[in-house]
Amino acid sequence: MKFGILVNEGPYQHQASDSAYQFTKAALEKGHEIFRVFFYHDGVYNASRLLVPPQDDRHIANRWSALSKEYKLDLVVCIAAAQRRGMLDENEAKRQGKDAHNIAEGFHISGLGQLIEAGIQSERLVVFGD
């Protein structure tokens, strides 16, 4: 089965982020296809390369980055939600005249059209968080 994944919650305030990661990993391990993972609303915080959780805690951004690298996942961060929350990739930081960027490896910023495409191209769009 081909899934699209929508993550609406941040990495440490709600279980949705962990559930999305675990679901995505399990689906891939079972041979299913993940068309795209789209991070929206506070879910964009999952893409921060500046997260520094305690050493004995899980590192959500690193988990997603590693999964993306292993399975060539398309991890898309909503541009509007990201900009509102101060999340910028290198290109967007330059475009906005900022001197730094904070999007982790494996993630990229794009628009809501990528979410619509995921819904069209996937057999199921699974939503995590409100």
Question: What's the confidence (pLDDT) of residue 55?
Answer: 92
For residue 76, what pLDDT band results from cuts at 50, 70 and 90?
very high
Q: How many domains does the chain have?
A: 1
* Annotated active-site residue in 6, 78, 87, 125: 78
Question: What's the confidence (pLDDT) of residue 119?
Answer: 97
How far is 42 from 100, CA to CA, in rounded Å? 20
**Residues 47, 61 contacting (CB under 8 angstroms):** yes
Q: Give me the percent of the chain exceeding a pLDDT of 90.
A: 98
The CATH number of the domain holding residue 112 is 3.40.1260.10
| pTM of the predicted protein model | 0.96
Q: Is 78 a catalytic residue?
A: yes
CA angle centred on 70, ends 14 and 91, rounded to 5°:
75
- Averaged pLDDT for residues 82-87: 97
Q: Which range marks the domain in which residue 29 is found?
A: 2-128
For residue 13, what pLDDT band results from cuts at 50, 70 and 90?
confident
